[in-house]
């Protein structure tokens, strides 16, 4: 990721190697603030309160959280307690439990004295793998974007995305944004329509911040504008990330994704989902079986901006954080193995 004119990762070990540094994403784009996490409890708070978010990144954060817990208490009881604490931080993204299981599997057979070091090593490997997976997604997606641009070489390629599936949601590159960054770097003129993504505005605040830092032309739009733009022929493709893809190919992503998929289908606009294998959940049959996180209504009734938080309605609010897009509406899955028609 390009941040303050230098290449960085969204999560790194602290200088002493005993904790991790993450961006406090609640402060973006107004302030760039790094915070240190030095316990499983701090990691759990950062995940639950969305200091850090995005399926791959919360998996990496949880992996380090488990390693930090084992540095304090490497016993079986300590391992189990920290696993449960972190696993319950957010229920929908499958990467969270996957990463915890990877770390637990790497240390469970070891004597307690060796567990913390092994856990940190496995967490480091999860981060390195995430970068490699996302770069591969980007390279396969670059070929797709080249083909799309070739259909209208006289104008920029217009991509619409929803929520934030960029480097702020991963360790680097992002999933949905990886092809966009690589296309931009390769000289393909690309423009991104950025859904604001109410209620937390991850598109307006985070995706736009990322794209601006990389120099990618983009325009923030209201969530409800996407269908209109598709009808006007101003969207060549929709690319989104995902928090979980089930065995039948249903896609769980930020609330509002389903509506974009419906609009894309109605207007013959291809709808692509970018994901690494770590976000595929073969154990869950369909999207109906996914636990959908219900967050506090304050995220709907209040809006945060540069000047602080203001209330925008006096009524009570419901706040389902995710929806499910049926597999039949997905044109293809962008993975580290290539573009797949079915998952």
Tell me which residue of 14, 10, 19 sits closest to 51, measured CA to CA: 10
- Of 243, 250, 281, 323, which is the active-site residue? 243
Please report, for the chain, how many H helices and E strands are present, in that order: 11, 18
Q: How many CB atoms lie within 10 A of CB 280?
A: 21
CA-CA distance, 86 to 250, in Å (whole number)?
25
| Contact between 254 and 322 (Cβ < 8 Å) | yes
CA-CA distance, 162 to 176, in Å (whole number)?
9
Q: Write the CA distances from 266 to 71, 205, 307, integer angstroms.
A: 53, 29, 39
To the query of whether residue 24 is one of the catalytic residues in this protein, the response is no
| Contact between 249 and 286 (Cβ < 8 Å) | no
Q: Write the CA distances from 203 to 211, 226, 240, 320, integer angstroms.
A: 10, 13, 11, 17
User: Containing H/E element for 47?
Assistant: helix 40-48
Helix (H, G, I), strand (E, B) or coil at 52: coil
| Contact between 176 and 240 (Cβ < 8 Å) | yes
Taking the mean position of all CA atoms in its chain, how far away is CA 270? 21
Cα–Cα–Cα angle for 293, 297, 302, nearest 5°?
130
CA-CA distance, 164 to 166, in Å (whole number)?
6
CA-CA distance, 249 to 158, in Å (whole number)?
26
Just list the catalytic residues. Answer: 243
């Amino acid at each position: 990721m390009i941040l303050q004119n230098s290449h960085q990762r969204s999560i790194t070990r602290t200088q002493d190697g005993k904790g991790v540094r993450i961006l406090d994403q609640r402060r973006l784009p107004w302030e760039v603030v790094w915070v240190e996490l030095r316990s499983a409890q701090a990691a759990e708070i950062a995940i639950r309160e969305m200091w850090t978010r995005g399926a791959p990144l919360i998996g990496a954060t949880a992996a380090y959280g488990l390693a930090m817990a084992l540095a304090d208490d490497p016993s079986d009881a300590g391992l189990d307690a920290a696993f449960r604490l972190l696993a319950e931080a957010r229920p929908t993204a499958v990467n969270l439990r996957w990463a915890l299981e990877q770390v637990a599997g790497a240390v469970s057979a070891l004597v307690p004295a060796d567990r913390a070091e092994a856990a940190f090593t496995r967490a480091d490997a999860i981060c390195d793998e995430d970068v490699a997976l996302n770069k591969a997604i980007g390279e396969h997606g670059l070929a797709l974007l080249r083909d799309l641009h070739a259909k209208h070489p006289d104008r920029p390629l217009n991509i619409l995305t929803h929520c934030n599936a960029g480097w702020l949601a991963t360790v680097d590159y992002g999933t949905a944004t990886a092809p966009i960054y690589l296309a931009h770097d390769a000289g393909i003129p690309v423009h991104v329509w950025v859904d604001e993504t109410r209620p937390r505005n991850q598109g307006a605040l985070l995706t736009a911040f990322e794209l601006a830092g990389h120099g990618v032309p983009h325009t923030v739009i209201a969530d409800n504008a996407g269908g209109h733009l598709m009808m006007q022929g101003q969207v060549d493709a929709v690319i989104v990330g995902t928090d979980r893809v089930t065995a039948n190919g249903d896609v769980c992503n930020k609330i509002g994704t389903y509506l974009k998929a419906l609009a894309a289908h109605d207007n013959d606009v291809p709808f692509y989902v970018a994901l690494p294998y770590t976000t595929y959940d073969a154990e869950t049959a369909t999207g109906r079986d996914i636990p959908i996180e219900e967050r506090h209504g304050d995220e709907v009734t209040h809006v945060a901006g540069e000047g602080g938080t203001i209330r925008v309605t006096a009524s009570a609010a419901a706040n389902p954080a995710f929806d499910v897009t049926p597999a039949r509406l997905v044109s293809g899955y962008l993975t580290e193995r290539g573009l797949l028609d079915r998952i």
